[in-house]
C-alpha cells in the first residue's frame, strides 16, 4: 500500500527528533517522544460511533472476520509485530571484538614492535629485526584469531538463546463466529479480541465493552498508576482517551472486548520504537566485573611495563631493547586466551540452562543465581503440580467428597439433590469465566484443556461432571455485570439474568472475606436462616478441617436481587458495588487439592544443605499453606510452628520455635524491623493470605537483611516484587505476560526444582570462571619474572616475548577452555551462598593464589631449568649476574665460567635454547596446574578426571610444545631451539610440589573452614 494512501503512515527517520539534540534524562526523552506522537498521530476512530467504525473496518462485531478477509489484511498490512531493531552489521560486530578486551593493548604492543623494528633498521641493527617483525605479526594474528573465535562463540550463544525463547503470545479473537486462541502476530485490523487481566494488549484497540478494566500505560506514557478504561470517551487526544488500549501495555485488572484499530509498526508503540530507536543495553554485574578485571590487568601491565622501560633506559639499554622489554612485560601480563574462554563458559551455560528448562533474558545473570541466599516462592503451580481438582464440599452442614478423580468416563454421576446443593452448584456454574477449549467432546472431562486458571478450570470440570453442560446453563442465565477477582478484595462477583424479571448475584472468594458479606445461610430444608454463633462455629471448623489437609478453600454465596430496585435493563455501576454486596446468602465451601510436585521435597532439602532459605509466600489460607509446607519440606518433619507451641495460657514453651506461619493480617501490622527479626529468628517461614504489596515488603525486608533474593511470580500483581528482587522468576506456563516482561528468568516448566537446578548451574558457572581465570593468570608470573630479573639482576633474558605469546595462545588456551566443561564439585550445593560483595570473580585472594603461590612455584621451576641449561653450557649463576649488557652487545667478547669465549651468534643460540627450556618448564608446570584447577575445594582424587576435554587439552598443549621445539623451520623463525629430553624433566619436581601443596591447601580448607578458608580459598 502506498504511504500516501495510509490513514496513519509509519513514521520515517525524517519524522524523528533531530539527532544532534542530546537528551540526558530518560524521563525528558519520554516526554519529547510523547509530544512528537501527539503531533504526528491523528485519528478519529475513537470518536466516531461504534457502528460507523465497524462499517469502516468492514467487520461484523458478532461474527468477526472470515479467513479470506484475514489473509487479505495480512497481505496488506503484514504481521502484527514490531519490526526487529536495527542490528550491527557483521563487519561492525567483528570490529568491536577487534578493539575490545585486551585487543587494544595487544595492538599497541604490536605497534611498538614495528617502532622497534624501524629504529633497529635505521641503526643497521639487523640482527634482531626479524624477531620484532615476527612478534608484531604474531600479536596481530592473536587479535584476529581471538576476535574471530569470540565472534563465533557469541553468535553461537545468541543462537542458543533464540532456540528457547518464549513462544509467541496468544490472544482470544472472534473469527467466523467462534472464539479461538491465535498468535498475536496473526491479528489484523478489525479483529474482535477479548483481553483479561494479566494479558498484554495484543494491538491498539478500541473498547467495545468492559468490566472493571484497567491498564498500565507506564511502558508508553511513564504513568505508574493503572488507568481505568471505558467503552465511551470524548477526549480527542488518543493518548488521553479512555476507550483506547495500546499495543504491548498491560491489562492489570478486569476484562474487555475490543476491536483492533492498528497493528505492528502502525501502533502507538510502533511509532515510539521508531522515534526513540534502540537503547543501549545495561551491563550485567558479570560483564561489569569482567570489564573491571580487564581494566585492572591493562593498567597493571602498562604501569609495570613503563616503570621497567624507564629503568632499562636508565641502566644503559638502547631504546629498541628497552622497547622490547616493555612489549615483553605487557604480553606477559595479558592472558590472551582468557576472554574467548569466558565466552565459551557462557555458551555452555546457555546449553545447560536450555536442558534445565530455564530461560534468561541476559545469560550473564545466571552467575547471580550462585549467590542466592533466599527464595520467596509461590505455592500453586510452583511447589504443587498445578493439576487442581475439587476434593471436598461443605453444604447442608456436612463435608462431602467430590470424587472427581474417580470418574473415568464421559458420563456424569449425579449426587443426591438438596436445596443446599442446588444453590451451591448454581453459584459454581455461573461465577466463573473458565471455558473448555474447542473440539474436545471426545475427551474425558478431567483430561480436557480449559481457558482459565487452574482453580476455575477445576470448578468447571467438576460442574460438568456433577450437573451437566455449563455452557447451556450459562446461556440460560446471561451475565450482565462482573467484578473480577483482585488481590485486594479477594472475591469475584457476577450478576446474571435469572428469569424474565429478575437478576441473581453470585460470588466466590476467600472464606473469611465472603462470610463477612453474608447475613444468612440455607438450612437443610433450603430455607434462608439468619447467621448465628452455632453456624459460625461449624463454618470455622469445616474450613480449618479442609485447609489443614492442604486444600485451597473457596466460599460461595448468592443473592436474588429485588426486581423493584433492579428491574430488567438496569445498568449496574461498579462504583456502587458495596450496596449490592449486602445481605448475601451463604451457599457453601468448596476445597480444591493440588498435589505437591514429586521432586520439590528433594529440591528444598538441597536448598537447605546449600544454605538457601526457602520462604513460601502465598495468598492461600495459613492452614492450607502450612499443610503444603510440611508436605514439601519447607517445615521440617517434627518441627512445630510458633502458634502450635503456644501453651493454653498463650505463652510460648521454653524452646525457641524454628518455624512460623504469618497471616497477611498480622503482617500488615508489622514494622520493617519486625520483618527483619522474623527473617533472622526463624529458619522456616510461611507467609499466608498475603497481598502483592506485602510480597514486595517481604522482598525488601530480605534485602535489608543482606540476603540475595530470588522471587517467583506469575500474576500482574507479582510484577513489583519480581522487579525488586535480585532475580525475578516468572512462570512460563501459567505466568502472565506482564510477569514475564519484568522477570530476569522464566521457568519453562513452572517447576520449583528447576530453580534449584538453575542455582546449581549459576554456582558451577562462577566456579568454572574462577578456575579459568586462576589457570590463565598463574602463567603470568613465570612469564613476567624473567624480565624483572633481566632488568634488575642483569642476567641474559631467560625467555623472549614471542615464547611468552606462544604460551598464552599455543599451549594455554586449550586447557583454559577445557575448564569451561568441568563438572560441578560434589559439594557445590553443600556450601553456603557466596557473598557477592566480598567473593568477587577476580578477587585479591585469587590474585594471591595465582601470583604469589602457584605462579611463584612455576617461576622457580623455570629459573631452575634456565640455570641448568646455562650451567651445563658453562655459565654458572654467579657469572650470569650483570652479564646482560655485554651479552647483547654484538661487538663484546663474553667468557663463560670456565674462560671459554662466546661469540654473539653462539650466545644468541644459547639464549634461544634457554627460551625453549623455560617455555617447556612452564608448559610442564601448567600440566599440573590444570589438574589442580579442576577443583576449588575437593581433592582431585575424589573429583576424578570426569572432564575428558582436559585430557585432550593436555595432549594439545604438549603437541604444541613438541612442535615448536623440534620442528626446525618454525624454531628458526620463532627463536626456538631443539633441547635435550632430560631438560623437560627438570621442572617435574616443582610440578609435584604444586600438586602436593594444592592438595594440602584444599585439605585444610575442608577441615578448618574458618580462618583457613578465608585466607586460602580463592
Residues belonging to the active site: 378
In terms of C-beta distances under 8 Å and separation of at least 24 residues, what long-range contacts does 51-58 make, across chains too? Answer: 53/206, 53/259, 54/259, 57/189, 57/190, 57/259, 58/190
DSSP structure string for 55-77? HHHT--TTT-B-HHHHHHHHHHH
Q: What is the DSSP letter of 657?
A: P
User: Three-class SS of residue 688?
Assistant: strand
Residue 46 has φ and ψ, to the nearest 5°, of -90, -5
- Determine the Cα–Cα distance for residues 324 and 196; give it in Å rounded to an integer: 70
Parallel, antiparallel or unpaired: strands 684-688 and 613-617: parallel
Q: Who contacts 695 (Cβ-Cβ below 8 Å, separation ≥6)?
A: 376, 617, 687, 711, 713, 718, 720, 721
Q: Would you list the DSSP string of 107-153?
A: HHHHHHHHHHHHHHHHTT-GGGHHHHHHHHHHHHHHHHHHHHHHHHH
Torsion of CA 437, 439, 443, 447, to 10 degrees: -10
Residue 132: partners with Cβ closer than 8 Å, 6 or more residues away: 113, 114, 116, 117, 120, 320, 324
> How does strand 727-731 pair with strand 709-713?
parallel
- Which residues, 6 or more positions from 373, have their beta carbon under 8 angstroms from its beta carbon? 611, 612, 613, 707, 708, 709, 832, 833
- For residue 23, what is its C-alpha cell? 537528551
Please state, in angstroms and as integers, the Cα–Cα distance from residue 99 to each residue in 94, 284, 332, 420, 777, following that order: 9, 20, 19, 77, 21
Longest dimension (CA), the chain: 127
Q: How would you classify the pairing of strands 584-593 and 552-560?
A: antiparallel
Cell digits for 568? 430488567
What are 318-321's contacts with CB under 8 Å, separation 24+?
319/119, 320/116, 320/119, 320/120, 320/123, 320/125, 320/128, 320/132, 321/888
**Which residues 6+ apart lie within 8 Å of 851 measured at CB?**
777, 778, 780, 781
In angstroms, the CA 224 to CA 345 distance is 39
Q: If you ran DSSP here, which 8-state letter would residue 16 be given? A: S
Give the HSE-up count for residue 185: Cα atoms under 13 Å, Cβ half-sphere. 8
User: Which residues, including other chains, have CB under 8 Å from residue 490's CB and lie 6 or more apart?
Assistant: 509, 510, 513, 619
Give the bridge partners for 256, in sequence order. 195, 210
Residue carrying the nine cell digits 584476529 = 144
Considering just the CA atoms, what is the radius of gyration of the chain in Å?
37
Q: What CA–CA distance (Å, rounded) separates 204 from 265?
A: 11
CA distances from 399 to 127, 395, 555, 711 (A): 100, 7, 13, 36
b/e sequence 349-376, b meaning 16+ C-beta within 10 Å: bbebbeebbbbbebbbbbbbbbbbbbbb
The Cα-based distances of 605 to 232, 467, 636, 835 in angstroms read 55, 43, 9, 21
Helix (H, G, I), strand (E, B) or coil at 530: strand
Distance CA 182, CA 203 (A): 13
Amino acid at each position: 500500500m502506498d504511504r500516501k494512501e495510509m490513514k496513519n503512515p509509519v513514521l520515517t527517520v525524517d519524522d524523528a527528533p533531530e539527532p544532534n539534540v542530546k537528551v540526558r534524562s530518560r524521563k525528558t526523552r519520554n516526554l519529547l517522544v510523547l509530544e512528537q506522537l501527539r503531533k504526528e498521530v491523528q485519528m478519529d476512530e475513537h470518536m466516531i460511533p461504534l457502528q460507523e467504525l465497524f462499517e469502516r473496518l468492514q467487520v461484523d462485531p458478532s461474527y468477526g472476520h472470515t479467513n479470506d478477509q484475514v489473509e487479505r489484511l495480512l497481505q496488506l498490512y503484514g504481521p502484527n509485530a514490531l519490526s526487529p531493531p536495527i542490528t550491527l552489521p557483521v563487519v561492525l560486530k567483528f570490529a568491536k571484538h577487534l578493539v575490545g578486551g585486551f585487543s587494544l593493548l595487544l595492538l599497541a604492543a604490536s605497534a611498538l614492535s614495528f617502532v622497534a623494528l624501524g629504529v633497529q633498521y635505521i641503526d643497521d641493527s639487523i640482527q634482531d629485526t626479524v624477531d620484532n617483525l615476527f612478534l608484531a605479526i604474531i600479536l596481530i594474528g592473536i587479535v584476529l584469531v581471538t576476535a574471530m573465535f569470540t565472534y563465533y562463540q557469541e553468535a553461537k550463544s545468541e543462537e542458543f538463546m533464540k532456540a528457547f525463547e518464549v513462544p509467541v503470545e496468544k490472544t482470544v479473537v472472534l473469527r467466523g463466529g467462534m472464539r479461538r486462541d491465535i498468535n498475536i502476530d496473526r491479528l489484523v485490523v478489525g479483529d474482535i479480541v477479548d483481553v483479561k487481566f494479566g494479558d498484554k494488549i495484543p494491538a491498539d484497540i478500541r473498547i467495545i465493552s468492559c468490566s472493571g478494566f484497567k491498564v498500565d500505560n507506564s511502558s508508553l506514557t511513564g504513568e505508574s498508576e493503572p488507568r481505568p478504561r471505558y467503552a465511551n470517551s470524548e477526549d480527542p487526544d488518543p493518548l488521553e482517551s479512555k476507550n483506547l488500549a495500546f499495543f504491548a501495555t498491560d491489562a492489570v485488572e478486569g476484562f474487555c472486548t475490543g476491536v483492533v484499530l492498528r497493528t505492528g509498526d502502525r501502533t502507538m508503540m510502533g511509532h515510539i520504537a521508531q522515534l526513540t530507536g534502540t537503547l543501549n543495553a545495561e551491563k550485567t554485574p558479570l560483564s561489569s566485573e569482567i570489564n573491571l578485571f580487564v581494566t585492572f590487568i591493562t593498567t597493571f601491565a602498562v604501569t609495570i611495563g613503563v616503570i621497567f622501560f624507564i629503568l632499562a633506559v636508565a641502566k644503559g639499554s638502547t631504546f629498541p631493547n628497552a622497547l622490547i622489554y616493555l612489549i615483553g612485560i605487557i604480553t606477559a601480563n595479558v592472558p590472551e586466551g582468557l576472554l574467548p574462554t569466558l565466552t565459551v563458559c557462557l555458551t555452555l551455560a546457555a546449553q545447560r540452562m536450555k536442558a534445565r528448562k530455564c530461560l534468561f533474558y541476559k545469560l550473564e545473570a545466571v552467575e547471580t543465581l550462585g549467590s542466592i541466599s533466599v527464595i520467596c516462592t509461590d505455592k500453586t503451580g510452583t511447589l504443587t503440580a498445578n493439576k487442581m481438582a475439587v476434593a471436598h464440599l461443605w453444604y447442608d452442614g456436612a463435608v462431602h467428597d467430590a470424587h472427581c478423580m474417580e470418574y473415568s468416563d464421559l458420563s456424569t454421576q449425579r449426587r443426591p439433590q438438596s436445596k443446599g446443593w442446588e444453590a451451591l452448584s448454581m453459584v459454581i456454574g455461573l461465577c466463573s469465566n473458565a471455558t473448555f477449549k474447542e473440539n474436545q467432546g471426545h475427551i474425558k472431562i478431567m483430561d480436557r484443556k480449559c481457558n482459565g486458571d487452574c482453580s476455575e478450570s477445576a470448578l468447571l470440570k467438576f460442574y460438568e461432571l456433577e450437573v451437566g453442560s455449563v455452557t447451556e446453563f450459562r446461556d440460560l442465565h446471561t451475565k450482565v455485570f462482573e467484578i473480577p477477582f483482585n488481590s485486594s478484595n479477594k472475591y469475584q462477583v457476577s450478576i446474571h439474568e435469572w428469569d424474565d424479571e429478575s437478576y441473581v448475584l453470585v460470588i466466590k472468594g476467600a472464606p473469611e472475606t465472603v462470610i463477612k458479606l453474608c447475613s444468612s445461610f440455607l438450612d437443610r430444608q433450603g430455607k434462608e436462616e439468619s447467621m448465628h454463633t452455632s453456624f459460625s462455629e461449624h463454618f470455622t471448623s469445616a474450613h480449618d478441617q479442609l485447609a489443614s489437609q492442604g486444600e485451597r478453600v473457596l466460599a460461595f454465596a448468592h443473592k436474588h436481587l429485588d426486581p423493584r430496585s433492579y428491574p430488567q435493563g438496569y445498568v449496574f455501576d461498579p462504583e456502587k458495588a458495596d450496596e449490592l454486596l449486602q445481605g448475601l446468602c451463604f451457599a457453601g465451601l468448596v476445597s480444591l487439592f493440588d498435589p505437591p510436585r514429586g521432586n520439590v521435597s528433594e529440591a528444598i532439602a538441597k536448598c537447605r544443605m546449600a544454605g538457601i532459605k526457602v520462604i513460601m509466600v502465598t495468598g492461600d489460607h495459613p492452614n492450607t499453606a502450612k499443610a503444603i509446607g510440611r508436605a514439601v519440606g519447607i517445615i521440617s518433619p517434627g518441627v512445630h510452628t510458633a502458634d502450635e507451641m503456644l501453651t493454653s495460657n498463650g505463652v510460648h514453651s521454653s524452646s525457641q520455635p524454628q518455624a512460623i506461619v504469618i497471616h497477611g493480617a498480622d503482617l500488615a501490622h508489622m514494622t520493617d524491623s519486625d520483618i527483619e527479626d522474623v527473617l533472622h529468628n526463624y529458619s522456616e517461614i510461611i507467609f499466608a493470605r498475603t497481598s502483592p504489596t506485602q510480597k514486595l515488603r517481604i522482598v525488601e525486608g530480605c534485602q535489608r537483611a543482606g540476603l540475595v533474593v530470588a522471587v517467583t511470580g506469575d500474576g500482574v500483581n507479582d510484577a513489583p516484587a519480581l522487579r525488586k528482587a535480585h532475580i525475578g522468576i516468572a512462570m512460563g506456563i501459567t505466568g502472565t505476560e506482564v510477569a514475564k516482561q519484568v522477570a530476569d528468568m522464566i521457568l519453562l516448566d513452572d517447576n520449583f526444582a528447576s530453580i534449584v537446578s538453575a542455582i546449581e548451574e549459576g554456582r558451577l558457572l562462577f566456579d568454572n570462571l574462577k578456575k579459568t581465570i586462576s589457570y590463565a593468570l598463574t602463567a603470568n608470573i613465570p612469564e613476567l619474572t624473567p624480565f624483572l630479573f633481566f632488568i634488575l639482576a642483569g642476567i641474559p633474558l631467560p625467555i623472549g616475548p614471542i615464547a611468552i605469546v606462544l604460551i598464552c595462545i599455543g599451549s594455554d588456551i586449550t586447557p583454559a577452555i577445557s575448564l569451561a566443561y568441568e563438572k560441578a564439585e560434589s559439594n557445590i550445593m553443600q556450601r553456603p551462598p557466596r557473598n557477592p560483595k566480598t567473593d568477587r570473580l577476580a578477587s585479591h585472594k585469587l590474585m594471591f593464589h595465582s601470583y604469589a603461590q602457584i605462579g611463584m612455584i612455576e617461576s622457580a621451576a623455570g629459573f631452575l631449568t634456565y640455570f641448568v641449561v646455562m650451567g651445563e653450557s658453562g655459565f654458572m649463576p654467579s657469572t650470569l649476574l650483570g652479564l646482560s649488557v655485554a651479552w647483547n652487545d654484538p661487538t663484546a667478547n663474553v667468557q663463560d665460567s670456565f674462560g671459554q669465549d662466546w661469540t654473539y651468534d653462539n650466545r644468541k643460540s644459547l639464549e634461544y635454547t634457554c627460551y625453549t627450556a623455560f617455555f617447556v618448564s612452564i608448559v610442564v608446570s601448567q600440566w599440573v596446574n590444570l589438574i589442580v584447577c579442576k577443583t576449588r575445594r575437593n581433592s582431585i582424587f575424589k573429583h576424578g578426571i570426569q572432564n575428558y576435554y582436559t585430557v585432550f587439552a593436555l595432549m594439545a598443549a604438549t603437541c604444541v610444545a613438541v612442535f615448536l621445539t623440534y620442528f626446525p623451520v618454525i624454531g628458526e623463525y620463532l627463536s626456538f631451539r631443539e633441547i635435550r629430553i632430560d631438560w623437560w624433566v627438570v621442572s617435574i619436581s616443582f610440578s609435584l610440589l604444586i600438586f602436593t601443596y594444592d592438595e594440602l591447601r584444599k585439605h585444610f580448607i575442608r577441615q578448618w573452614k574458618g580462618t583457613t578458608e578465608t585466607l586460602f580459598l580463592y
